[in-house]
């Protein structure tokens, strides 16, 4: 799919991988809707940068874990831009809990992570699907994690939530075919603010990777755009991790 003149919604689009993806889509000629929940300043800065560079973007607030807010966001976006052609389900959260600390994986932690990381992606995909089906063309990319493949991550509930995202991708690919393609990009370690306070751990990891480097948000954004463009692919789980899982 040619991204020029398409309308793209990027959840969590003001920071990290979301920001890099918003910028990459704008450079390819897409109109970008930068969703945010709490990072208003970051989202507005991303929008300003895109617009200053000759692109077209707007920021819309919504908590993706709340279906009514997602539906309102999509309605506002469609009223402003006419449709939504592309969705990048990037918004995710975590809690840093030792994997063997089962008592700290409380019901509240499970609910919070699944509400955003899994249900939020479903809510947003469901809200945009009618507009894509109307045009008989659309593409969705979900952001997974190698934690969902290895079972090891920032917390046990986070790893399980990302495994669920991988499953959600396959189920949505079946449910939305043939008009809408759904794929999942699975990053390993990425140099984002998730490493705040653990920068030394990140630096120690890099030499142990096959490619001797931590991925950048731009690395992941490039693959997201490629997945949106590729018209012969759906239901795929694509790992981008500098060889971390080998």
Q: What is the pLDDT of residues 160-173, one digit of tens each?
A: 999 999 999 999 99
Question: What pLDDT does 200 receive?
Answer: 79
Q: Which residues in the chain come in under a pLDDT of 50?
A: none
Question: What pLDDT does 199 receive?
Answer: 72
Question: What pLDDT does 208 receive?
Answer: 94
Helices (H) and strands (E) in the chain, counts: 9, 7
Question: What pLDDT does 195 receive?
Answer: 67
The strand order across the sheet containing 31-36 reads 56-61, 31-36, 7-10, 86-89, 138-143, 180-187, 237-240
Question: What pLDDT does 27 receive?
Answer: 98
DSSP state, 193? G
Q: Which residues carry out catalysis?
A: 158
Question: What pLDDT does 52 receive?
Answer: 97
């Amino acid at each position: 799919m040619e991204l020029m003149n398409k309308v793209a919604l990027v959840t969590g689009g003001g920071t990290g991988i979301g920001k890099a993806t918003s910028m990459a889509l704008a450079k390819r000629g897409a109109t970008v809707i930068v969703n945010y929940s709490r990072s208003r300043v970051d989202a507005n800065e991303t929008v300003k940068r895109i617009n200053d560079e000759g692109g077209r973007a707007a920021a819309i607030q919504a908590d993706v874990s709340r279906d009514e807010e997602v539906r309102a966001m999509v309605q506002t976006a469609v009223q402003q831009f006419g449709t939504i052609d592309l969705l990048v389900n990037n918004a995710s959260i975590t809690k840093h809990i030792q994997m063997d600390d089962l008592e700290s994986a409380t019901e509240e932690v499970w609910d919070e992570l699944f509400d955003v990381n899994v249900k939020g992606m479903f809510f947003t995909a469901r809200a945009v699907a009618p507009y894509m089906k109307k045009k008989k063309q659309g593409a969705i990319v979900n952001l997974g994690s190698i934690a969902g493949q290895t079972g090891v991550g920032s917390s046990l509930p986070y790893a399980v939530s990302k495994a669920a995202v991988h499953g959600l991708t396959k189920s949505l690919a079946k449910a939305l075919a043939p008009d809408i393609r759904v794929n999942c990009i699975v990053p390993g370690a990425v140099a984002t603010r998730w490493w705040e306070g653990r920068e030394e751990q990140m630096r120690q990891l890099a030499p142990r990777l096959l490619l001797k480097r931590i991925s950048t948000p731009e690395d992941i954004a490039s693959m997201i755009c490629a997945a949106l463009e590729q018209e012969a692919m759906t239901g795929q789980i694509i790992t981008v991790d500098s060889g971390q899982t080998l």
